[in-house]
Structure formats: C-alpha cells, structure tokens
Structure 1
C-alpha cells in the first residue's frame, strides 16, 4: 500500500534545508559547492505532492544530486577545517602555546575557501606579528579545480559547447576593479586567459561576425565545428558595482577561468602554437622569447598587435576532426570560400589606430584578415605613425590640419562593416566627421514577413541575392503552352455577342474569409490552441513591422524638412 507524500514525485525532491542538514554544511559552502559541481535547484511540477499538501515557496533539489554531492571529497575538507578551528580555539583559551603551534603545523589544506585565511592574516597584520604573517602566507590555501573540470566536461567538445558563458564572464571580470570579493589574482587570470583566447582567434582566422551595440561588442567564431558567441564590454572605466552579488559571480568566474585554461591549451596545441604564448620575432637568428618570464613580453601578448611563434613540428600535425556529416559538402565548400575571403580581406594593409578608437576590436578584425595594426604606446611598437607604408588611418574624431595624402582616413565602423560584408566598402560614407550609415547586425536572419531595412535590401542586391521574397513580391507564374486545336468547320453553328462580367473583389474577400473560418472550425480541439497562438504571433509580428515602417517614414519626413 502506497503512503501519501512518501512515494512518486515526493521522493524525487529534497528541500535545501534538509540538504544542508544531510551534508552538514553552512549555506555559503553549500552554494559554492553546487556552483563548482554544476548542481542547480529544480521546480517540481506538483508542489503539493512534494511539499506534503502545502504550496509554500521553497527551494528544491533532486535527491540524486544531493547524494552525488555527499560523496564529494571536498566536503571532508570542510569538516576537517571545522575540527581544526574548534581545537585551535580550545588551545588558545587554555593558553597552550605548544599545542597551538602543533595545530598550525598540522593544519588541513582547505582548497576552496580562503575567507578564514584572510581573516587570520588581517589579525596578524594588525598585531604586527611578522612571523605569523609569513607562516600564513606559506600555508595559503590553493585552488584545485582540475578534477571538477574533468568531471563536468569529459570531452573537449562538451567544453566547447559550454564556452559561451565562460567567455562572457571572463571578459567581464577582466575589466573589473579588484575588491574584497573580486580578488586581484582572479582579475589578472581572466585578463590573461581572454588575451590568450583572442590571440587564438587571430592566428586561426576563426572570427566570422562582429557587431557593435550599446551593451558591448558581439563576436562570433567557428572553432572546431562549434559556433561560439560572446560579448565584450566597451573600453571605459568601471566603478564599484553594488547591485550584483559578486560572491556568487566570483565563484562562477573561478571555475570558468580554470576551464578556459584547459581549453586554451588544447586550442593552441591544435594549430601548433606554443602555450603559454610566445611572441615571434622575424630577426636573422629567428629569436623567440618567452612571454611568461618577462613582463614586457607579456604586455606584447596582451596588446594583440604581434604574431605568435609556432612550434617547429606544427606543420606535421593533423587537422582536428570536426565530424562532417553527409549532405554538408556544399556548406563546407561555402565555408572554405568564406574563410579564404576573410584571410585576404586586409592583406598587405597597414592600419594606424588613433587613441580614441577601440584597439582590441580593430586588432582582432584586421589581423584575422591578414593586415597589421599599430598605435601610439603599443607594447613592442611594430611601426610608428610616420611610417610611409601605412595605408589606413582609423580615427573617431574630426580631422585636424595634419593630413597625409598617401593614406586613407576612415572611421572604425568601416572596418567592421567591411568584415561583415567580406569586401572593402567604399570609404566615402565612412570619412571622419561624416554621418555614418546604419550599422546592421550580421546576427539577424532575413525572413519574409519581418522588417528588413532598405540598406539591408541594397546590400543583398549588391551581393546578388534574390530579394523578391523579402519585399513580398509574388513570383510571376509561368505561362503554360496551350495545345493547338485544329479548327474544324461545322455547319449550322452560330456565335452570339455575350456580356462581360466584372469580378467583385469584396465578394471574393468575403468568400475567402468564410472559407477560412470554416477550415478553422474543422481543426481538432487539441491543435486549436496551438493554431491560435501561431495566429497571434503573426499578428504581433505584422504590427511590429508596421510600427517600424511608420517610424522610418517619420524620420525620413523630418530629414527632408
């Protein structure tokens, strides 16, 4: 006999309070453990069954997930550390100096939480106990997340599929000021890892799309068959943010930085680059210096302006298998042609970037397309502003009197639009001080029925695409050849003059509407809700398109006036 609330869905879930009691952990350590292990709360379908007849709001987890956490070795470290603190407090209360010293020597390694360590360190500094501060630094806890990363991502493809969130968070932490929660070491690690990933994108020519928006700069790249999309904030000063719980975000960034280090190593190995990255020098003796030992060399890697050195055996390595399925030969051929166009887009072009232009974005795009970049105070300056070989000068402010007639002056949007169009656009619309054309997103998919800007229509026409479907034009029907009927003379037949009948359009519309209603009535009840939902979506889309068209017409009328 089944007992109510003790079978079925009620046994699949457990509340957070019960989970804390089962694991014997405080809430803070439980949250951090769940983030590192990838365990998240779940909402049960039937709350009353799970919550014994009540609908009180509670946080639920799967019982199998909590059982999975119960066997995690990190929990034993938590418990050992609690025992250590309890014994240490007892020894200090009894003033047993020898026992306190022995306890510190046998201190368990606490591999995740450093808050207690920092608290002890602050106390020692306040009391000016130099020896104790030195010992605390020597026994500082270290983060060991390698096993958890391998456990959550058993294959490299699974890590690539989850790389979007890691990139977005690491790029965000790379520009944050360090605080009590956001440690300087974490910010430095995120900056190093993101610079390494940007260098890989440049060297592998994997970048496919770029879009500048108010929120930031969106990038898309194809890496080993996976499509990666991430956002990078604009270059500006970031103050102290108080609206975000950085304690949770820092735990995510800590785990993602560990994962990104594994991914970067594998990506560098796949294209034959040294890891950690090293700058390539084109000197007589092919000098290659390490970017780790020298801080100046590390800044050259961060600048993205210098090429990286490759291993001597790089040419002998096989290409990574991306798993091409049958029927994708045409897409593969188009991808190869697109990559060839990207590699040669800015070939033999030398860019000088003014200090107000976004340097990282332009360096990634230009160098991915075969060009070279430089700017003032660039680490390891490739060439100066007076170099006569410079072909393009990127400037984002009105020109002053000093103009070099041997180079082209353009705004940064020209580089992005040319990259998205896969050809060098005319520079007349992108000269300094000129009102720029609309910056269209390459991430949108043009489908019939949606609003498509006129500029996008012109671009598609220039590329040779058929825009009839986007404009709503009906394709002319092919006239069928009528069979020639031989005339036969018949006697006794005559033809009278008839009357022409005009087609009543309103009557025809009424008949079509009546037929549509009749067909709707024949829809089965289980499909009727889905049908009405689709119909409402189409009406909403039509209203949005009309609103955008009216706004454009209004702006056009105001510009004429």
Structure 2
C-alpha cells in the first residue's frame, strides 16, 4: 500500500495563497485585485491556518482553490492580459517617439465589458435589489467627488446621473418609508418590490483631499465600476416596470450637464437639486394608482380573518403615508440643506420651492400666499406671513418617521427641538431605551387605546336594536324557568337558618376592608436566590452545550454593561444641564 504524503489532502489542498494564485492566473497584483472585486471572490479564513498553509506559521492571504479555478475560465482575464500588452506597446512607441503608431494604438484601446458578470452574480432581479445597499451608498458618495487622479470626471458624472434616476423613481412611486439624520449623513430606507433598501446620502461639505494611507481610491473606483453597471440595469428594469420611459424625460427646461456648470461646485450641486424638483414624463403611472385602489377595495370586501385585517390595516396606513404632505406647499430658506428635504416632501405628495434668484429649479416664490410651511434654520426673521407656519427642518423628518403630521409648536423658530430618535432601532429591544422614546411609546399606546374604545362604543351603538313582542315573550319564559329551577334546589338542600346566618357572617368578614401590612424585600436574599438559580441552570446544561451557554451569558453581560454605561452617561448629562440652569 502506497504511503500518503503530508499536506496532499484536506485543508492544505482546499486553500491557495495569493502569490500562488497570481502565478496560476499570470496576472499582476492590481489586475488580480480588480478581477476578484468584479467577480465577487474574497479571501477566506481557514479553520486550521497552519494546516491550510502547509505547516507555515506566518499569516498569509488565502483563497479557496475552487474560486481560483473559477476565475481561470473568465473571459475578461484575456482583456486584462491585453491591457498589459497594450501598456508595453504604447510605452515602446513613446520611447521611440512614434506618435503616429501611438495614436493608432490608442484608438484600439481594449474595452472591458462586465455586463455578463452582473447577470451571473444576480440571476434574478430581486437578488440585485437585495444587494443595493452598498451600491447606492458608494455611488452617492462618488457623485459628490470632483475630478481626481484616480477618479475621472466621467465616473463621478455617471454616478450623479444614475443616483438622480434612482431618486426620481423613489419620488414618483412614493416608495420611501424611513429617514434619519446622523453624523455620517442622511439615512434613507425605501420599499422596492417588497425589499427594504437602505442607503446613506452624505452631507454636503467642501471636498477635502485625503492621503493614500487613509483612503485607497483605486480600490473604491473598481467597486464603482461594477456598481454603475449594476445600478444601470436596475434603473432600466424599475422604470419600465413602473411605466416610465428610460432614460427619463423631464417636464420643462432642466439645466443640462455642461463644462460651465462643472467649474463651480455650487452651480453643480444646485442643478442636481433642480432636476429632483422636476416631474417625469409618464404614460402608465395613473393606471398603476388605479390598480392599487382596486386592490385595497378587494381587501375591504374580503373575509374578516386576522390576516386580512392586518393586511387591510397596513394598506390603509401605507396609503395615508404616501399622501402625508398632499396639499401642503413648502418654501425652503437658503440656509437649509435642500436635497434631502426635496426628496422627502416630493416623495409624500407635497410641493416645494426656494428663492429663484439664488438657486435654479424653483416653482413658486416666497410671496405666494398658498404656502403652508416655511422651513427656516436661523434664530430670527425679518418679514413674516400669518398664513404659514415657520418651522425647523427636523419637523419634516419626524413627521415621516411618526407617519403623521406632528404639531408645529415644538418646532418653531428658536425653540429647543425634541430629540431626533432613530426609526431603525427595534422597539421591543432589551437594551437601553431613552426616556424620550418611552414617552413617545406611551403616547402612541394611549392613542391606540382611545381609538379602540371609540370603535368598541360605536360597535355597541350599531349593534343595539329594539326588541319586538315575540322576543320579549321568549325572554320572560326563560327567566321564569330559571327562577323555578333555583327554588327547587333550595327545597332539596333544606339548609337550617343557623347555618345560613353563619354563612352570611363569614361572607361579610371576607368582604370587609382590613389594614395592609408593609412587606419589605431583602435585596441580599433576592440576589442570592438569583445566583443560586443561575448556578442550577449552569449545572443542567449538557457538556456539549456549555460553550454556547457561556457565549450567551457573556453576550447578556455585555448588553447589561452597555445599558449601565448609557444610563450613567445620561445621568451625567442631566446633572451638567442642571448645573448650567442654576
């Protein structure tokens, strides 16, 4: 029998180092990194690193051998090799100063097409929508970048166009559900084809260059190269499913991209917001709204099962949310960030405008008396109108998260705003809950109880009807039969009068009011009982489940520690505020 050699089977064969993968694919490190990003192949962590590295104790970058064999059959490997050959030939032409031949070679630059890879990685449309979170976040970030050495202007312009097309779909289909302001930017969540898509839109700050040690723009631009193709496919499918023409056409004259607009960053940004405030040309969207109303009517005509009641309630709540700002007109002052507010107001049926002398794309002026709300972020104003409310920008965000129009008196100019709570946290979580969130939850529960009470009283009044003579006769006969049956039972028992009096006295003693006694809880005894109970639970756990039990206990201790730290931080803030008020 032949003796097996060491490291010829098992994990040693399943994994391959990056240097061996480069040798096998005959690619440079940059081309290999680009190929792995586009194909979705990433390093793996083995279970036993020393076995996977064939006895070596150094930490190396390992890949699955199957993934590398999978990359061998990719057609774009030949294109990447053509890039290498192209670089050598053009370098030779520059060295010998053969510019005629160099011009001919530049016209035949090899094109890298990755459309088939997008279809391969996302076989269904729902799979592509599920993976939109990182795609949108990165493209929104790159749409704000100027022209850099590793980021050409064409790439940032493409990101700008694709993100605006996606936002127009969100606005016109009213798919937005949640929003939150954070230090990183504005968090948005939309419901697309039944899938929740969350992305971040960065704050508008002047661009500050970073060093290569902080951010590797070359790797990020490779991701953008793949995500632009992916979002182009998704936008095309979304527009055609909603009944819009793609690429989108806008009503009116929207400022087009030109070299003059790209010289000034403020003009570049205002043109983007002007496009968001314009309407799309549509032919089939009105029919879609009619079908949605018909579906709601069908739900109302269905049977009164719990599931149908829940679906009907969600459909009605969603219908109210989509028309939250319908009939309202907003005017935004120049100091307020306009882009997130335009997206929110237009996504929920409202109309928005600003000063047309400063920014392009305004639809009405400040002197318009039909304006209902003016969004201001400064301590004082000069001229004010009685017919409108002057509010701070947080009112719009809180109304969307609470799914109702909140009272504006807490958001007036100069008023201390209520805390802006995140809608992405779980309501029934075990961790620390701020007191403001608890008060909001209590208010919502009390409102729900009031609604239920009003509905029950309405049902009782609706169910009440006068009795006729036949029903009264039947009720009288039933009551008479019950009285006769009760008298017969008393005759059978033949209880004496003394026993009846003792029974009455006992009932009177049990129903009498007595003074209560204070029961003091011993905290030490309670803690000891809890510790003993925990030890009994630990003893009952089987040996094969002990590691899992320890992990659960450790996670519980970490959550309790975080909760205690947040409470301590809150107490310190409140004490500091109390000292400042004194």
Which TM-score tier does this pair reach, normalised by the shorter chain? Answer: 0.7 to 0.9
Q: Distance in 2 between matches of 1:503 and 1:93?
A: 97
CA-CA distance at 1:522 after TM superposition: 2.4
Query: Is the partner of 1:351 in helix, strand or coil?
Result: strand
The alignment status of 1:148 with 2:110, answered yes or no, reads no
The alignment status of 1:280 with 2:251, answered yes or no, reads yes
Q: How does 1:32-431 map to 2 (within 5 A)?
A: 32-83=34-85, 104=101, 132=103, 138-139=107-108, 142-242=111-211, 243-280=214-251, 299=271, 303-311=275-283, 315=287, 329=308, 332-377=311-356, 378-431=359-412
Gaps of 5+ in 1: 105-119, 121-131, 282-288, 469-485, 491-499
Equivalent position of 1:546 in the other structure: 564
Q: 1:88 to 1:462 in 2, by over 3 A?
A: closer
The alignment status of 1:535 with 2:553, answered yes or no, reads yes
Q: 1:349 to 1:64 in 2, by over 3 A?
A: same
Equivalent position of 1:464 in the other structure: 445
Query: Is the partner of 2:445 in helix, strand or coil?
Result: coil
Q: Distance in 2 between matches of 1:467 and 1:541?
A: 31
CA-CA distance at 1:90 after TM superposition: 6.8
Q: 1:178 to 1:329 in 2, by over 3 A?
A: farther
The alignment status of 1:440 with 2:425, answered yes or no, reads no
Q: Distance in 2 between matches of 1:138 and 1:94?
A: 19
Contact 1:279/1:307 (CA < 8 Å) preserved in 2? yes
Q: Distance in 2 between matches of 1:223 and 1:270?
A: 11
Contact 1:195/1:301 (CA < 8 Å) preserved in 2? no
CA-CA distance at 1:334 after TM superposition: 4.0
Equivalent position of 2:535 in the other structure: 517
Query: Is the partner of 1:30 in helix, strand or coil?
Result: helix
Q: 1:356 to 1:30 in 2, by over 3 A?
A: same
Cα offsets for 1:122-156 (capped at 9, x unmatched) = xxxxxxxxxx4xx6774455452212211211111
Contact 2:79/2:111 (CA < 8 Å) preserved in 1? no
CA-CA distance at 1:335 after TM superposition: 3.4
Equivalent position of 1:477 in the other structure: none
Contact 1:352/1:385 (CA < 8 Å) preserved in 2? yes
Contact 1:202/1:368 (CA < 8 Å) preserved in 2? yes
CA-CA distance at 1:458 after TM superposition: 2.2
CA-CA distance at 1:537 after TM superposition: 2.9
Q: 1:77 to 1:193 in 2, by over 3 A?
A: same
When the two structures are superposed, what TM-score results if normalisation uses the length of structure 1?
0.79
Q: 1:334 to 1:65 in 2, by over 3 A?
A: farther
Contact 1:272/1:315 (CA < 8 Å) preserved in 2? no
Equivalent position of 1:123 in the other structure: none
CA-CA distance at 1:314 after TM superposition: 6.8
Query: Is the partner of 1:197 in helix, strand or coil?
Result: helix
The size of the alignment, in residue pairs, is 493
Query: Is the partner of 1:179 in helix, strand or coil?
Result: coil
Q: 1:327 to 1:263 in 2, by over 3 A?
A: farther
Cα offsets for 1:217-267 (capped at 9, x unmatched) = 111111001111111111111211221000000000111011001101111
Contact 1:279/1:291 (CA < 8 Å) preserved in 2? no
CA-CA distance at 1:553 after TM superposition: 3.6
Q: Distance in 1 between matches of 2:405 and 2:386?
A: 19
The structure number with the bigger radius of gyration is 2
RMSD: 3.6
Cα offsets for 1:151-182 (capped at 9, x unmatched) = 21111111111110100100111111220101
Q: Distance in 2 between matches of 1:397 and 1:379?
A: 22
CA-CA distance at 1:532 after TM superposition: 3.2
When the two structures are superposed, what TM-score results if normalisation uses the length of structure 2?
0.76
Q: 1:502 to 1:300 in 2, by over 3 A?
A: closer
Q: 1:170 to 1:64 in 2, by over 3 A?
A: same
